[in-house]
Every structure is written in C-alpha cells, then in structure tokens.
Amino acid sequence: MADCLFCKMVAGSIKPDIVYEDADVLAFRDINPQAPTHVLVIPKDHIATINDIAPDHDALVGKLFLAAKKVADIDGIATSGYRVVMNCNRHAGQEVYHIHLHVLGGRQMSWPPG
Ligand code: 5GP
Ligand code: ZN
C-alpha cells in the first residue's frame, strides 16, 4: 500500500528503530513509547485491521506472536512480564491501519485498560 506508513517501513523508505526482522515480520520501537519497552510487530504484508485477517493468514498471525516473544527476550522482559495488544478500529483507538501487535513491558501494567 503506497500510502501506508508501516508499508513504507517494510519497503525501507522510512527507517524505524528495528528490534527484530525476518522474512515475514518487522518489529520496531514505537515513536511514542508508553512503557520502557514499547515495540510494534507488523506483518510485511499489508492487512488493515483484525477484521481483514483471512483464513490463509493463520500462519502469518502466529508469526506475529512468535516475533513478540523474541522481542521480549531481546529486551529482557520475558520473565518479568509484558502485555501484547492489537487495537481494531475506532473504539479501540487504532491509528495506523496496518495491523500491529504492541509489545509493552519493563514496568507494572494496570488492568483494565482505559
Ligand atoms: P494504534 O493506535 O494504531 O494501535 O498504534 C499506532 C502506534 O504507532 C502508536 O503507538 C504510535 O505511537 C505509533 N506510531 C505512529 N507513527 C509512528 C512512526 O512514524 N514511527 C513509529 N516508530 N511509531 C509510530
Ligand atoms: Zn501497510
């Protein structure tokens, strides 16, 4: 998607602070971190929202979680704990319409979320 911010990161025309990358996913630090670790994990293929995930994306969605786990290991928060969140559409506060897992950790989280 030519006008998608996260597709531009995948293409390399915008360069984020990359934490982890493989053939299918890219993980980079959020520009406005809400915790000591705040990393976004995206598929390299454009999928706008959770509602657009198709049955043949099943392996790719699994890879997002495997990458989230790797990010937690890289940042040393796997044992202390972390939260993985994906927002969908307006009521959840989705701002970028290319699906992304937020990996948040390095501090105590509260529940329920706002
Ligand atoms: P959403 O609200 O869609 O779930 O999350 C979008 C996230 O993308 C926000 O946490 C926001 O700070 C982050 N973000 C927006 N623009 C940029 C950017 O240009 N670079 C990076 N690294 N993160 C961004
Ligand atoms: Zn995109």
CA separation for the pair 2, 86 (Å, rounded) = 23
Strand partners, 42: 26
Q: Give a yes or no: residue 112 inside a domain.
A: no
The token duo for 98 is: 């290319």
Q: Give a yes or no: residue 21 inside a domain.
A: yes
Strand-strand pairing, 25-29 and 82-85:
unpaired
Number of folded domains that form the chain:
1
- Going by alpha carbons, the residue nearest to atom 18 of ligand 1 is 31
Q: Give a yes or no: residue 9 inside a domain.
A: yes
- Going by alpha carbons, the residue nearest to atom 12 of ligand 1 is 32
- Going by alpha carbons, the residue nearest to atom 24 of ligand 1 is 31
CATH of the domain at 55: 3.30.428.10
The residue from 38, 98, 100, 102 that is catalytic is 100
Q: Give a yes or no: residue 52 inside a domain.
A: yes
Q: Is 58 left (phi over 0), alpha (psi -120 to 50) or beta?
A: alpha
At 1 the pLDDT is 81
At 67 the pLDDT is 98
> Using an 8 Å Cβ cutoff, are 101 and 27 in contact?
no
At 110 the pLDDT is 96
- 85 by DSSP, 3-state: which? strand
- Structural domain that includes position 44: 5-105
At 70 the pLDDT is 98
At 2 the pLDDT is 85
Q: Give a yes or no: residue 50 inside a domain.
A: yes
Based on the residue annotation, tell me whether 100 is a catalytic residue of this protein.
yes
Q: Give a yes or no: residue 41 inside a domain.
A: yes
Ligand that comes closest to the CA of residue 4: 2
Q: Give a yes or no: residue 110 inside a domain.
A: no
Entry field: residues in the chain: 114
Q: What is the block-wise mean pLDDT of the chain (114 residues), using blocks of 10 residues?
A: 95 97 98 98 98 98 98 98 98 98 98 91
Ligand that comes closest to the CA of residue 41: 1
